[in-house]
Amino acid sequence: MRFLMKFGGTSVADADSLSRTVDIIEEHHRAGHELAVVVSAQRGVTDQLIAIAQEIADSRSSATIEPFINSLRLRHMKVLSEVAGDCEGEVGDQMEERLCNLENILNAVHNLRELTPRSLDYIITYGERLNSLVVSAAIRQRGIPSMVMDGCEAGILTTPQHGEAMALPESEGRIRSRVQPLLTEMIPVIMGFMGCTEKGIVTTLGRSGSDYSAAIIGAGIDADEIWIWTDVDGIMTSDPRLIPDARVLPTISYLEVMELSYFGAKVMHPRSIEPAMKKNILVRVKNTFNPTHPGTSIVWHEKRDSRVVKALTYIDKVALINICGAQMIGRPGVAKAIFSALADKEVNVMMISQGSSEANISLIVEESQAGIAIDSLAGLVRQGLIREATANRDVCAVAVVGVGMAGAKGTGGRIFTALGHGGVNVMMISQGSSEVNISFVVTQEDGPKAVRILHDEFRLSEEDDA
Ligand code: ADP
Ligand code: ASP
Ligand code: MG
């Protein structure tokens, strides 16, 4: 079989977890399978890179750069020396070269006091740049040939949107010709999270983007299966950090995972499903720390659960935009004007709801885009198309997901009755036309409570008896 295996930040966070990762790789290699590996940065490193880049672009002093570089060196060299023994010297030199580059770029950002989206993207790929060296060396240490490739060398060609780039269709053929021929000879270790534009400018694919890299590369090499290795046993009925009795789902459909990840379930990147779905590649989510657990399989057609609701998630970094005005009533083109104004400023609208009186339209946008959304609607106020647009940032969006909800009568009633009994006030409701998702908005404080209430209401901790 041919596998694409992606290992997340927690699977490569220290020497112990990295040895487990390499055990898994070695086992599948020795069993005669072909393998390509995608790796993330070590846990927390991307956050640190973003923080230092922002800090030194604003700061009068560059004093924090050197200690930061030293801490990265220490962290990665420690793991390297523990897992890569003989290979250490040669890889150590490559690591020094990368650290020196990073230091130079951070100094340049500081000298210019300018951090462009392009330079930030380049800087934040260094977590993957450093970690891939360590992982590949650890594989070679087990006597298995391996080399490192960055996302661009592997063939991921993207749109130029820094921080949220999307893979272009040409990537598939490029990956096939660059990565696939290597698989009979070695295990390529590919840096996740990044690609490049046609001009060779480095881009990143959004936070948690290594999952997306995995799907793009898995599709490009015609993998039989894509395995996402992480720190939980699979995709669960809710985030286990919020709901300790959340249960692992043995199977889930592509559509359900897309809805969950779109609404903030961190376990997968929202765009990581589509490339696999297009080619009907089975995706499995498995636990590096419990590899014998079967994990979750993501498939096309999911059996309907006896419980209509399968999983719950919530996202708190959102804002509710309320647009109102009696002049909106019965006036064609108002919705068009609103959405055009938002689209012109590249505001992504996550949820929409319109009152039947048409005097009110409510939208959910990312919290970071709330200010831009309000500014972009100010023109419509001046034109008299709407009376006012306001933003409420003290909200979160909860998504209730399950293919079984399609056509099941009374699910909405059950959801909102349970919330009402629990004292949760619902501020906005939206249901996708696919009926796989009912989402609603509550105050930030009520978000976790709403998820807890519905997890109990739909008995999600109990085994499926269908
Ligand atoms: P990785 O470093 O492997 O990419 P992430 O931290 O990005 O790992 O994603 C795994 C985490 O996602 C889990 O530790 C868990 O807390 C969180 N998570 C959120 N929602 C879910 C869910 N529905 N099922 C499983 N994990 C979830
Ligand atoms: N290292 C990147 C991040 O932290 C990508 C990933 O982990 O998938 O967002
Ligand atoms: Mg992740």
> What are the Cα distances from residue 67, in Å, to 42, 72, 358?
18, 9, 57
Pick the most confident of 86-90, 235-239, 407-411: 235-239
Q: For residue 278, is it within any domain?
A: no
Q: For residue 24, is it within any domain?
A: yes
Nearest alpha carbon, ligand 1 atom 26: 267
Select from 11, 12, 38, 232 the residue to mutate for testing ligand 1; criterion: most ligand atoms less than 8 Å from CB. Answer: 232
Q: For residue 339, is it within any domain?
A: yes
Least confident window among 169-178, 225-234, 304-313: 304-313
- 131 and 19 co-located in one domain: yes
| pLDDT tens by residue, 242-283 | 999 999 999 999 989 999 998 888 888 889 989 999 999 999
- 212 and 320 co-located in one domain: no
Ligand with an atom nearest the CA of residue 230 = 1
- Report the CATH number that the domain containing residue 12 is assigned in CATH: 3.40.1160.10
Are 276 and 254 in contact by the 8 Å Cβ rule? The answer is yes
Ligand with an atom nearest the CA of residue 208 = 2
- Report the CATH number that the domain containing residue 381 is assigned in CATH: 3.30.2130.10
Q: Which atom of ligand 2 is nearest to the CA of 207?
A: 9
- 226 and 316 co-located in one domain: no
Tokens of 165: 């780039």
Other C-beta atoms lying within 10 Å of the C-beta of residue 201: 16
- 224 and 334 co-located in one domain: no
- Of the residues 177, 208, 231, the one at which a domain ends: 231
- Of the residues 207, 231, 255, the one at which a domain ends: 231
| Average pLDDT of the chain, as a whole number | 93
Is the pLDDT reported for residue 134 higher than 90?
A: yes
Select from 38, 46, 164, 272 the residue to mutate for testing ligand 2; criterion: most ligand atoms less than 8 Å from CB. Answer: 46
Distance, CA of 135 to CA of 15 (rounded, Å): 10
Ligand 2 midpoint to CA 63 (Å): 26
Q: For residue 288, is it within any domain?
A: no
- 320 and 226 co-located in one domain: no
Q: For residue 302, is it within any domain?
A: no
CA atoms within 13 A on the CB side of 459: 8
Are 178 and 155 in contact by the 8 Å Cβ rule? The answer is yes
Residue span of the structural domain in which 169 resides: 2-231
Nearest alpha carbon, ligand 1 atom 5: 267
Number of domains in the chain: 2
Residue 389 pairs with which residues in a beta bridge? Answer: 323
Q: Which residues have CB under 8 Å from 34's CB, separation 6+?
A: 1, 2, 3, 183, 184
Ligand 2 midpoint to CA 210 (Å): 6
Are 368 and 317 in contact by the 8 Å Cβ rule? The answer is yes
Dmax over CA atoms of the chain, in Å, equals 75
Which helix (H) or strand (E) covers residue 8, if one does?
A: none
- 208 and 328 co-located in one domain: no
- 59 and 153 co-located in one domain: yes
Q: For residue 95, is it within any domain?
A: yes
Q: For residue 45, is it within any domain?
A: yes
- Of the residues 213, 231, 249, the one at which a domain ends: 231
Q: In the chain, what percentage of residues exceed pLDDT 90?
A: 80
- 205 and 354 co-located in one domain: no
Q: For residue 343, is it within any domain?
A: yes
The whole-number average pLDDT for the span 362-368 is 93
Which residue type sits at 259?
Answer: E
